[in-house]
Amino acid sequence: MRCPPPAALVALLVVALCLGASGAGRVAASTDFDYPAVFNFGDSNSDTGGRVAAGLESISPPYGSTYFGVPSGRFCDGRLIIDFLLEAMGMPFVNAYLDSVGAPNFRTGVNFAQAGCSITPANPTSVSPFSFGLQIKQFFAFKDKVNYLLSKGDHRQYIPQADYFAQGLYMFDIGQNDLAGQFYSKSEDQVIASIPTILLEFETGLKKLYEQGARKFWIHNTGPLGCLPQNIALFGKDPSQLDELHCVAKHNRAAKLFNLQLHALCTKLRGEFAGASITYVDIYTIKYSLIANYSRYGFEKATEACCGYGGPPLNYDGRVPCGQTKSLNGKLVTAKGCSDSTEYVNWDGIHYTEAANFHIASQILTGKYSDPSFVDKMPFVIKPRF
């Protein structure tokens, strides 16, 4: 397996040269990024094992093969963006809230993200029942239990201290499924018309967290949905529906309008949440630039799945998920992983590879894709571990 994509590595080494080297593959962060705990809410983009722990789905090799050696509950061959960001803050990976196996340690935070979840409340046809509102309820149940255990003096080494809830970072990467799921039954105009309702639900959740003491918010916008092989395969059969990158144009238009309104919401809440910091991160631009300039960043395939079935140009067939064997036309076929996932941006038709996640995290850490920007602070020194 080759090294990380050269451009991503160069970007991180530039930061290292600015600040000097750190040890043990970790990252030295400024006090501005010194959080005692992280509380994450989201979907599969940041799910570190919640859906699998809930028993809603099992995943098999080659998931997890790049870094963990076995499936880790992540819908990826290795680490996710959140994993790299936590490494950058010198923190351990965050455990899934529902994962009770192996004595999970929640002292530095907990992850409520669930693959397939949406911001809006789940319905009988939803992929996951764990909507954003339910994740918020799980957080409050977690906080109440932690405070109870602290009052009894129990399990202090495994749970956050009481002040961690006010000092911790609240991270959000959610909304993709609200948009993508609607395209199966609704027009582009109908999907776009639903965005204010989706964001009202998101705002309600943020306000509940703020009222309970959350003060530091880190919010990712949604990526270019039209560039996922799954959506290209289903909605891109008519070339006139594709953009210059051969992505489904209507999906990307909806994502950009969602992000525009999400950005406006973040700006509004800064004026309403006294004493709070709200960082909006433009994931869309980072991912779209990666797909548009994939070869510059050391990748060889932009919209072809590493783990899939069907071969080029997409290597995606929704009937044969990654790692599974199915019968098609009386023949058993298997969706296998590629020989080198670092050559691919996309992992399984829906999610990104570890190498792509590494690149995306490296771009986030430059600070220039955030509002407010922290590019002038350049707080991170990273020595990538591959």
b/e code 255-281 from CB counts within 10 Å (16+ = b): bbebbebbeebbeebbeebeebebbbb
Dig out the tokens for 307 from the structure: 């783990």
- The whole-angstrom separation of Cα 85 and Cα 283 is 13
> How far is the C-alpha of 79 from the C-alpha of 111, rounded, in Å?
15
Helix (H) or strand (E) holding 246: none
Which residue type occupies 136?
I
Greatest alpha-carbon pair distance for the chain in Å reads: 64
List the catalytic residue out of 351, 359, 362, 370: 351
Residue 46 annotated to the active site: no
Residue 282 is a catalytic residue: no
Rounded Cα–Cα distance for residues 41 and 111 (Å): 6
Q: At what angle do helices 354-364 and 6-19 cross, to 10 degrees?
A: 40
Angstrom distance (rounded) from CA 131 to CA 39 = 16
289 is catalytic: no
Q: Which of 341, 348, 359, 370 is catalytic?
A: 348
* Encoded tokens for 36: 């005692």
Options 44, 46, 65, 128, the catalytic residue:
44
Q: Compute the distance between CA of residue 159 and CA of residue 108 in angstroms, rounded to an integer.
A: 7
Report the catalytic residues.
44, 348, 351
